[in-house]
Each structure stands twice: as structure tokens, then as C-alpha cells.
């Protein structure tokens, strides 16, 4: 195995282990989105009576949301962990070793992607247990896991960029409400064509999170919706590429300062 | 008088802390606005569901929920401050210095009310700017805000009881999660009659449902179940105040 792969593997294992060992980091991304899913699907079941609503199961409609909500938690986890490494001096000590900077970032993100996929498996299992039938079948479920990896990579890289720029866990935590705005002002609870308030529909249409949700929703309730898949994967890929480039740049700057 | 001097001192310090610390003030102000915007804006089509008969529109329907939610969480967030004060050692010095320790709980409760007052003012202003219709008269509106104030006291006393027993900010989820669940297992998005299945059964057993329905009836000017709602709120207030004062005794016993 190459030196880089060994370094990445070691740091990825560290990333996963420390998340799993901290219940405060590991449990909320699993429990909170599912709790919100259950209360929303119970409370908003009547929405399925609206003319034009795409399914008669609000649970199936809303199951897409935990995937993206879980990915937002990835941003917080990745950012907070990296910021802690900077604050505690681990990052500085690491920079004195032969460890490559890119290995640090790749290891951290590999850990986040593994956790993101595990979260997705959990949400899929919850959906299946509660009676949701995936319109796209087993192939769609497999694609959903690939998508979860891509989105976790994108949001994880975004969290890493923010951590490398600010070097403060508190600043990362302070961004949580901002990320939540993107989630709430989206098509998370209503299809965009059924949003009656014009300004809200416009914001939801401009909000990339709407398309990330609709990609998952398409696989669950529609089947193989090519447009939704192209938009979701396209936005996920752009997010990943831009965030990775930004995080690599910020890493270079941080290494110079260190 | 000794109770008041302690209470006013604690309230002043707590409010000043919140108002001068953006990381404490902004979430209190922003979260209710997020919820209000997302629910009243994104879900307004729900008012077209067959059987939805609230007369003043979906904005007013959701405003009442967000007002009560902000009241409950205004209390819970102040409970976080109590836990932080215990963790940092300040509360221990406060216990030693206070001639009447009940005044400490009263002071924090007053701060929770003032803190919520700031949020409620902003939320009401935003709702009116966005065209919320209010069918109720001044007495109905006063009733709604009084009900919300009682919810604020309940939220604080619940959280303070936990904070003074566990004396660590790590108890935050324990203060927050039950309140969150009680609030959301209620007729948040549609009236109780339109809920079905387990949600309907759970909401019928949940006292928050009756506070919410009474609050909505007040804003629309057709009060129903108001006496029941105030009775429940007062009862919960007494129970949680007892819980908080016993928590204070537990903190005293722990030294």
C-alpha cells in the first residue's frame, strides 16, 4: 500500500472512531432527523389530500429530508473535529511529521463519507421498516448510497474549509442556524409547484438544497426521474468540487501559518 | 423584600448577559423567525386541505404555534444559562451570597420572561408586516400572550429543575428534547380534527394541543377551551415550579 493510502486510512479510522466514541456527535445525526420525519409525517399527512400532491404517503415524501439533514450534520461534525484538531495543537504537531497535508484532509473526509453512508443505510432501514416502498427498487437504493457519499463529501469538505479558515469550533457551531435556513426554505415539506406563497417558492427554487432533496425524493416516490437525478448529482458534484478546492486552498494557507 | 433584591439582581445580570452576547441572543431571535417563515410561507397551501376551517388564514394559524414555541424555548434557553452558571461555579457563589435563595429561581424566571418578551415583540412585528390577520379583540390577544407567558414559565421551571439537579450544560438535550417532542406531537400544521392515526391519539393526550387550540381560537376571536387551557397551563406551572424549587434544594444539598 502506498504511503499516502496508509496515512489516509489511519486518519479516516481516527475520524470514524472519535465520532463513534462521542455519543453527542454520533447520535443526533441519526435520531434527530428521524424524530423530525416521524412528527412531520404524522402532522402533515393531510397535505397528501391536496390536488397534485405526488404521493399518498407523506412518510415516503418526507423520507428524503433526513438524507440531506444528516449531510448538514456532516458539515458540523467535519468542521468541529478539524477545528478541535487546530485548537488543541494536533494539527500543528501533525504538520511536523512527514504526514502530507492532503492526507489529513482526505482522511478526515473519508471518515465523514463512511459515516454519511452509514447514516443513509439507517434512514433507508427506517423507511423500509415503516412501510415505504422505493419506486426505483434495489438499484435506486444502491444509487442512493452513492449519492449519500457524494453529498457527505461535499458538505464535509465545506465544513473542513470553514474549520481551516476560522480554526474555531464555536464558529462552526454558530453556522448551524444558517445551514438550517437552507433546509427550511426549500421544498422539504411541500413540492415546489404546490407552494402558494410566491416569494417562498422563488427562494425554494433558487435554493440548491431543494434539488438535493428532490433527487432523493425522485428515487423514493417516482422511480428513475432523469431530470431530478441529473440536478441532484450535478449540484452534489459541484458542491464537492468547489468545497474540496476551497478546503485544499485553506489547508495550504493554514500549513504555511503553522 | 430580600426575595425581590435577589431576584432583580439575578434577572438583571441574566438579561444583560443575553442581550450583550450575540451567540445567546441571535438563536433566541432567529429560530422562531425561521420556523415562522418556513411554516407560514412554505406550508400555506395546507389551508386548502378539505376540512381546514381556521378563519384567519395560515399565517395566523402558524403564528400561534411559533409564539408558544418561542415562549417554551425562551424558558428552556434560560435554563441552559442556569446550568452554565452552575458549571462555571458562579451559581455556587450565588447560593452562598443570597439571603433568600428562592429569589435566585424567581430572578432567572423573570429573565426568561423578559428574554421571551424581546422575541415575541420581534415575531409579532414580522407577522404583522407579512400581513397576518387578527380576528380577536384586545382581550383575546391579551389572553393569547398571557397563555404564552405561562408556557414560558413552565418551560423555564422544567429546564431549571434539570439544570439545578445535574448542574452541567451537558444536560441541555435533556431539557430541550422533551419540550421539542411535546410541542411537535400536537396539531402543529393542521387542526386536531384533521390529524389521523397515532399522531391524533398522541396529540389528544398532549396538554400542549389544548394550549395551541385555545391560543388559535383567541387570535381568531372565537374563544374555545380557554378555561381548560389556562387551567392546564397553571397546573403545569405549579408542578414545574415545585420541581424547580426542589431542584434548588438538591443543589443546596450538593453544596
Please give, rounded to a whole number of angstroms, the shortest distance from the CA of A215 to a CA of chain B: 19
Interface test with B, best of A196, A201, A204 (most B CBs within 10 A): A196
Q: Which pLDDT score, from 0 to 100, does residue A210 have?
A: 96
Q: Would you say A241 and A230 are in contact if contact means Cβ atoms under 8 Å apart? A: no
Q: Which pLDDT score, from 0 to 100, does residue A258 have?
A: 59
Q: Which of A170, A181, A189 sits opposite B43 (nearest CB)?
A: A189
Cα first-last separation, chain A? 29
Q: Which pLDDT score, from 0 to 100, does residue A141 have?
A: 96
Of the candidates B66, B68, B72, the residue with the CA atom closest to the CA atom of residue B154:
B72
Is pLDDT above 70 for A257? no
- Number of domains within chain A: 1
Query: What DSSP designation does B223 have?
Result: -
Concatenated DSSP letters of chain A: --HHHHHHHHHHHHHHHHHHH-HHHHSHHHHHHHHHHHHHHHHTGGGGGSTT-S-S-HHHHHTHHHHHHHHHHHHHHHHHHHHHHHHHTHHHHHHTSS--HHHHHHHHHHHHHHHHHHHHHHHHHHHHHTT---TTHHHHHHHHHHHHHHHHHHHHHHHHHHHHHH--HHHHHHTHHHHHHHHHSSSSSS-GGG---HHHHHHHHH-HHHHHHHHHHIIIIIS--HHHHHHHHHHHHHHHHHHHHHHHHHHHHHHHH-
Query: What DSSP designation does B51 have?
Result: T
Q: Would you say A239 and A218 are in contact if contact means Cβ atoms under 8 Å apart? A: no
Please give, rounded to a whole number of angstroms, the shortest distance from the CA of A46 to a CA of chain B: 7
Residues 155-184 (A) with a CB less than 8 A from some CB of B: 170, 174, 177, 180-181, 184
Of the candidates A32, A76, A40, the residue with the CA atom closest to the CA atom of residue A61:
A40
In whole angstroms, what is the distance from residue A246 CA to residue A249 CA?
A: 5
Range of the domain at B99: 2-254
Is A194–B45 a contact, with Cβ atoms under 8 angstroms apart? yes
Q: Which pLDDT score, from 0 to 100, does residue A88 have?
A: 84
Q: Which residues of B touch A197 (CB under 8 A)?
A: 40-42, 44
Is B46–A50 a contact, with Cβ atoms under 8 angstroms apart? yes
Query: What DSSP designation does B56 have?
Result: T
Q: Which residues of A touch B202 (CB under 8 A)?
A: 42
Entry field: residues in chain B: 255
Please give, rounded to a whole number of angstroms, the shortest distance from the CA of B219 to a CA of chain A: 21
Q: Which of B23, B34, B44 sits opposite A196 (nearest CB)?
A: B44
Of the candidates A1, A76, A3, A66, the residue with the CA atom closest to the CA atom of residue A34:
A66
Q: What percent of chain B has pLDDT over 90?
A: 73
Is B199–A194 a contact, with Cβ atoms under 8 angstroms apart? no
Chain A residue with CA closest to B50: the answer is A49
Crossing angle of the two packed helices B207-219 and B172-184, in degrees rounded to 10: 60
- Number of domains within chain B: 1
Place of cell 399565517: B59
In whole angstroms, what is the distance from residue A141 CA to residue A134 CA?
A: 7
pLDDT in tens, B118-134: 999 999 999 999 889 99
Q: Which residues of A touch B191 (CB under 8 A)?
A: none
pLDDT in tens, A22-57: 776 677 778 888 988 998 898 899 899 999 999 999
Q: Which pLDDT score, from 0 to 100, does residue A108 have?
A: 82
Q: Which residues of A touch B69 (CB under 8 A)?
A: none
Is B197–A47 a contact, with Cβ atoms under 8 angstroms apart? no
Residue A49 cell numbers, joined: 389530500
pTM for the predicted model, two decimal places: 0.81
In whole angstroms, what is the distance from residue B132 CA to residue B140 CA?
A: 16
Q: What percent of chain B has pLDDT over 70?
A: 99
Is A197–B41 a contact, with Cβ atoms under 8 angstroms apart? yes
pLDDT in tens, A214-256: 999 999 999 999 999 999 999 999 999 999 999 989 988 887 7
Q: Which of B41, B48, B196 sits opposite A50 (nearest CB)?
A: B48
Q: Which residues of chain B have pLDDT under 70?
A: 1
Q: Would you say B147 and B72 are in contact if contact means Cβ atoms under 8 Å apart? A: no
Is A185–B184 a contact, with Cβ atoms under 8 angstroms apart? no
pLDDT in tens, A122-177: 999 999 999 999 999 999 999 999 999 999 999 989 988 988 888 877 677 666 66
Q: Which pLDDT score, from 0 to 100, does residue A197 have?
A: 87
Residue B188 cell numbers, joined: 402543529
Helix (H, G, I), strand (E, B) or coil at B189: coil
Q: Which pLDDT score, from 0 to 100, does residue B187 have?
A: 94
Q: Which pLDDT score, from 0 to 100, does residue A2 have?
A: 76
Is pLDDT above 70 for A58? yes
C-alpha neighbours within 13 Å on the C-beta side of residue A129:
8
Q: How confident is the model at residue A93 (pLDDT cuts 50, 70, 90)?
A: confident
Entry field: residues in chain A: 258
Crossing angle of the two packed helices A64-88 and A176-184, in degrees rounded to 10: 170
**Would you call A23 an interface residue with chain B, using a CB distance cutoff of 8 Å?**
no
Is B23–A174 a contact, with Cβ atoms under 8 angstroms apart? yes
Range of the domain at A226: 3-257
Amino acid at each position: 500500500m502506498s504511503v499516502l493510502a496508509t496515512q489516509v486510512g489511519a486518519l479516516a479510522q481516527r475520524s470514524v472512531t472519535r465520532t463513534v466514541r462521542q455519543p453527542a456527535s454520533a447520535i443526533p445525526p441519526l435520531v434527530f432527523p428521524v424524530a423530525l420525519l416521524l412528527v412531520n409525517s404524522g402532522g402533515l399527512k393531510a397535505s397528501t389530500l391536496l390536488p397534485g400532491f405526488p404521493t399518498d404517503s407523506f412518510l415516503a415524501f418526507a423520507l428524503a429530508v433526513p438524507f440531506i439533514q444528516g449531510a448538514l450534520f456532516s458539515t458540523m461534525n467535519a468542521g468541529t473535529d478539524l477545528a478541535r484538531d487546530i485548537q488543541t495543537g494536533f494539527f500543528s504537531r501533525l504538520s511536523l511529521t512527514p504526514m502530507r497535508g492532503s492526507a489529513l484532509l482526505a482522511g478526515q473526509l473519508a471518515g465523514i463519507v463512511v459515516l454519511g453512508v452509514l447514516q443513509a443505510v439507517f434512514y433507508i432501514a427506517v423507511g423500509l421498516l415503516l412501510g415505504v416502498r422505493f419506486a426505483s427498487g434495489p438499484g435506486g437504493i444502491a444509487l442512493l448510497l452513492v449519492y449519500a457519499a457524494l453529498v457527505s463529501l461535499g458538505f464535509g469538505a465545506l465544513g473542513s474549509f470553514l474549520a481551516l479558515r476560522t480554526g474555531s469550533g464555536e464558529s462552526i457551531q454558530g453556522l448551524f442556524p444558517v445551514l438550517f435556513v437552507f433546509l427550511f426554505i426549500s421544498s422539504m415539506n411541500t413540492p415546489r409547484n404546490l407552494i402558494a406563497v410566491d416569494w417562498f417558492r422563488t427562494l425554494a427554487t433558487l435554493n440548491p438544497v431543494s434539488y438535493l432533496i428532490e433527487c432523493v425524493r425522485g428515487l423514493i416516490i417516482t422511480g428513475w426521474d432523469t431530470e431530478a437525478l441529473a440536478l441532484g448529482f450535478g449540484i452534489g458534484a459541484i458542491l464537492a468540487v468547489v468545497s474540496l478546492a476551497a478546503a485544499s486552498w485553506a489547508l495550504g494557507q493554514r500549513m504555511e501559518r503553522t | 423584600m430580600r426575595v425581590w433584591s435577589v431576584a432583580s439582581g439575578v434577572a438583571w445580570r441574566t438579561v444583560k448577559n443575553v442581550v450583550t452576547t450575540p451567540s445567546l441572543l441571535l438563536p433566541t431571535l432567529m429560530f422562531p423567525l425561521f420556523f415562522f417563515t418556513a411554516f407560514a410561507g412554505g406550508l400555506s397551501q395546507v389551508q386548502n386541505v378539505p376540512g381546514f376551517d381556521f378563519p384567519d388564514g395560515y399565517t395566523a394559524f402558524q403564528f400561534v404555534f411559533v409564539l408558544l414555541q418561542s415562549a417554551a424555548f425562551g424558558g428552556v434557553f434560560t435554563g441552559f444559562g442556569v446550568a452554565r452558571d452552575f458549571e462555571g461555579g458562579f451559581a455556587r457563589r450565588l447560593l452562598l451570597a443570597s439571603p433568600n435563595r428562592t429569589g435566585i429561581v424567581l430572578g432567572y424566571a423573570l429573565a426568561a420572561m423578559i428574554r421571551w418578551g424581546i422575541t415575541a415583540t420581534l415575531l409579532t412585528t414580522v407577522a404583522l408586516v407579512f400581513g397576518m390577520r387578527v380576528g380577536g379583540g384586545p382581550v383575546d390577544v391579551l389572553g393569547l400572550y398571557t397563555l404564552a407567558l405561562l408556557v414560558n414559565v413552565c418551560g423555564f421551571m422544567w429546564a431549571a429543575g434539570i439544570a439545578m439537579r445535574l448542574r452541567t450544560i451537558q444536560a441541555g438535550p435533556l431539557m430541550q428534547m422533551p419540550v421539542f417532542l411535546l410541542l411537535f406531537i400536537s396539531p402543529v400544521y393542521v387542526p386536531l380534527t384533521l390529524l389521523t392515526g397515532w399522531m391524533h391519539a398522541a396529540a389528544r393526550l398532549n396538554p400542549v394541543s389544548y394550549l395551541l387550540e385555545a391560543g388559535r381560537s383567541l387570535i381568531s376571536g372565537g374563544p374555545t377551551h380557554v378555561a381548560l387551557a389556562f387551567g392546564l397551563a397553571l397546573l403545569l406551572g405549579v408542578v414545574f415550579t415545585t420541581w424547580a424549587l426542589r431542584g434548588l434544594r438538591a443543589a443546596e444539598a450538593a453544596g
